[in-house]
């Protein structure tokens, strides 16, 4: 269940953050803006309920969102996507899962998890700019499922075919959204062409 969101604005902003000379400020802004643009499409099937309002002119039957939306950024890099989405869904709850890839084995390690209650009835969006081997996202989704979530969307900016396959195999019911499906992984598990280490570029740690 993969959707690659093609839009000239997304492509343009992605080109900017792929450039190696793009610094932390512009990288951070770009990640946030792309997440916001993706949110428009990802939220297309959010449930709405009927409501009666009064406009300045007359009474009117219309619709508004109902139900909880929960954003779960995978630390650290997923944090960069939160604000772009909460700008559009200010009532969204935010949980956190800390994962890092062991750089030798590429295996994900969970170091933090704090999730909102009642995930059963919520639309849960797992946020991580990078879907490389898919190990981190798959492990994060497993933790989130074990906490009760039933409707899960994985929202990544750049993905590799290997990561998409891994999610399709481990969590076939999860909808995966990407801004770009890149070519492959290199021998050290980085996405090619990719955009490098998203966490380090977001937080200026290298
Ligand atoms: C990056 C990225 C993903 C993970 C993707 O995080 O943000 O979480 O790698 O790789 P995978 O699909 O092969 O698991 P990293 O482990 O570098 O941690 P960081 O966000 O703290 O930098
Ligand atoms: N994590 C990143 O930050 N970048 C990659 O290319 C792969 C994993």
DSSP 101-128: E-TTT--EEEEEEE--S-GGGSEEEEE-
Residue 88, pLDDT > 90, answer yes
- Rounded mean pLDDT of the chain? 96
Cβ(77)–Cβ(101) below 8 Å = no
State the Cα angle at 15 between 185 and 139, rounded to 5°: 40
Q: State the pLDDT at residue 104.
A: 84
Annotation says 102 is catalytic: no
Q: State the pLDDT at residue 180.
A: 98
Q: State the pLDDT at residue 105.
A: 86
Annotation says 105 is catalytic: yes
Which single residue is written with the structure tokens 């290298």?
A: 206
- 122 pLDDT band, cuts 50/70/90, is very high
Dist. CA 155 → ligand 2 center (Å): 15
Residue whose CA is at the smallest distance from ligand 1 atom 2: 130
Please state whether beta strands 69-75 and 93-94 pair in parallel, antiparallel, or not at all (unpaired): parallel
Q: State the pLDDT at residue 138.
A: 96
Active-site residue identified among 18, 68, 101, 170: 101
Q: What is d(CA 53, CA 30) in angstroms, rounded to the nearest whole number?
A: 37
Q: Which long-range contacts (CB under 8 A, 24 or more apart) does 147-151 make?
A: 147/115, 147/119, 148/118, 148/119, 148/120, 149/70, 149/119, 149/120, 149/122, 149/124, 150/119, 150/120, 151/122, 151/123, 151/124
- Segment 2-20 shows an average pLDDT of 97
Q: What is d(CA 173, CA 158) in angstroms, rounded to the nearest whole number?
A: 20
Q: Nearest bound ligand to CA 138?
A: 1
Cβ(94)–Cβ(39) below 8 Å = no
Dist. CA 186 → ligand 1 center (Å): 15
Q: State the pLDDT at residue 206.
A: 85
Dist. CA 203 → ligand 2 center (Å): 14
- Ligand 1 atom at minimum distance from 166 CA: 12
Residue 102, pLDDT > 90, answer no
Which of 4, 5, 33, 30 minimizes the C-alpha distance to 17?
30
152 against 102, higher pLDDT: 152
- 101 pLDDT band, cuts 50/70/90, is confident
Which single residue is written with the structure tokens 């400020």?
A: 25
- 181 pLDDT band, cuts 50/70/90, is very high
Half-sphere exposure of 80 (CA within 13 A, CB side): 27
Q: Maximum distance among all alpha carbons in the chain? A: 65
CB-defined site of ligand 2, < 6 Å = 77, 130, 132, 189-191, 194, 197-199
Residue 177, pLDDT > 90, answer yes
Annotation says 101 is catalytic: yes
User: Which tens digit of pLDDT belongs to each residue from 12-68?
Assistant: 999 999 999 999 999 999 999 999 999 999 999 999 999 999 999 999 999 999 999
Mutation choice for ligand 1 from 76, 108, 130, 131, CB with most ligand atoms inside 8 A: 130
Dist. CA 190 → ligand 1 center (Å): 10
Active-site residue identified among 45, 105, 121, 205: 105
Rounded to two decimals, the pTM is 0.96
């Amino acid at each position: 269940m993969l959707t690659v969101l093609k839009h000239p604005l997304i492509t343009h902003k992605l080109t900017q953050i792929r450039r190696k000379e793009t610094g932390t400020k512009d990288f951070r802004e770009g990640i946030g803006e792309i997440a916001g643009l993706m949110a428009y499409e990802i939220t297309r099937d959010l449930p709405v309920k009927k409501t009666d309002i009064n406009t300045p002119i007359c009474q009117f039957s219309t619709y508004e969102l109902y139900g909880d939306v929960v954003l779960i950024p995978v630390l650290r890099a997923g944090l960069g996507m939160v604000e772009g989405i909460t700008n559009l869904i200010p009532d969204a709850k935010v949980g956190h899962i800390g994962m890092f890839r062991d750089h030798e084995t590429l295996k994900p390690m969970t170091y933090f998890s704090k999730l909102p209650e009642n995930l059963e009835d919520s639309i849960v969006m797992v946020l991580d700019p990078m879907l490389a081997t898919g190990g981190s996202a798959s492990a994060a989704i497993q933790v989130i499922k074990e906490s009760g979530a039933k409707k899960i969307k994985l929202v990544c900016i750049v993905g590799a075919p290997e990561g998409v396959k891994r999610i399709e195999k481990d969590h076939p019911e999860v909808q995966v959204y990407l801004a770009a499906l890149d070519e492959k992984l290199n021998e050290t598990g980085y996405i090619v062409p990719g955009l490098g280490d998203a966490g380090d570029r977001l937080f200026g740690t290298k």
